[in-house]
Amino acid sequence: MTPEKLYEILEKYAMSRGWELNRDKEFVFELLKGLLKNEERYGYRSCPCRLASGDRKADADIICPCIYSAEDIKEYGRCYCGLYVTKEYNEGKIKQNIVPERRNKGR
């Protein structure tokens, strides 16, 4: 799969959730390349901003979109890596804060 094709797929997915892809396309395509590289490495698209173990079961929570994304987007206007965002985030109406890592909390 190409990054361009993955962009189309994820854009439709984001729209179905009421989200958008980050308006910074250069940034988005770097993330997409990371997702595709991880799919090549591990057989699944783990978040390129997190360290995957190579064990699909252990990494199930960070397969894109990760299980933390909805809460991150609701609270910060974007997911941890910044691939998925709200319309308001893309319009610059939400301050760009760092999204804290939720993965290891309670583990």
Q: What is the pLDDT of residues 55-92, one digit of tens each?
A: 999 999 999 999 999 999 999 999 999 999 999 999 99
State if pTM tops 0.85: yes
Chain position carrying tokens 């890592």: 101
Q: What is the pLDDT of residues 6-55, one digit of tens each?
A: 999 999 999 999 999 999 999 999 999 999 999 999 999 999 999 999 99
Query: Cβ-count burial of 29 within 10 angstroms (0-12 exposed, 13-18 middle, 19+ buried)?
Result: middle
